[in-house]
Amino acid sequence: MSKSLAAEWGRYGLRFNVIQPGPIKTKGAFSRLDPTGTFEKEVIARIPCGRLGTVEELANLAAFLCSDYASWINGAVIRFDGGEEVFISGEFNSLRKVTKEQWDIMEGLIRKTKGS
């Protein structure tokens, strides 16, 4: 619906964007949904950033999207989850196993390439 509204009303300066937040730690949510703390540890294990999001980060994104700095963003769906969705999709899971030394070697090889 947000994309349809963006297409229909964008010419009038109205913007319709969606924020799809991942796990955001709040006292109310986690004290009820995860009183033992077990769920939090399991969730963090599948977030490449290694932590939960904060209310302040979510508020900052929303404020940006409402600002004039984001006036050309319309009809977007922004996944705000520390990379959780792309990690659990499985496509890039093996990249998490690459060691620092392996990254250094890969970086050196990439820097030696020319063009695309």
Task: Determine which helix (DSSP H) or strand (DSSP E) holds 21, and give its type and residue range.
Answer: strand 18-21
Contact between 66 and 13 (Cβ < 8 Å):
no
Each domain of the chain, given as residue ranges in start order, spans 2-89
Residue 1, classified by CB atoms within 10 Å of its CB into exposed (0-12), middle (13-18) or buried (19+), is exposed
pLDDT in 10s for each residue of the chain, 116 residues: 999 999 999 999 999 999 999 999 898 888 888 888 888 999 999 999 999 999 999 999 999 999 999 999 999 999 999 999 988 887 777 777 889 999 999 899 989 887 75
| The pLDDT of residue 116 | 58
| The pLDDT of residue 1 | 93
**CATH of the domain spanning 2-89:** 3.40.50.720
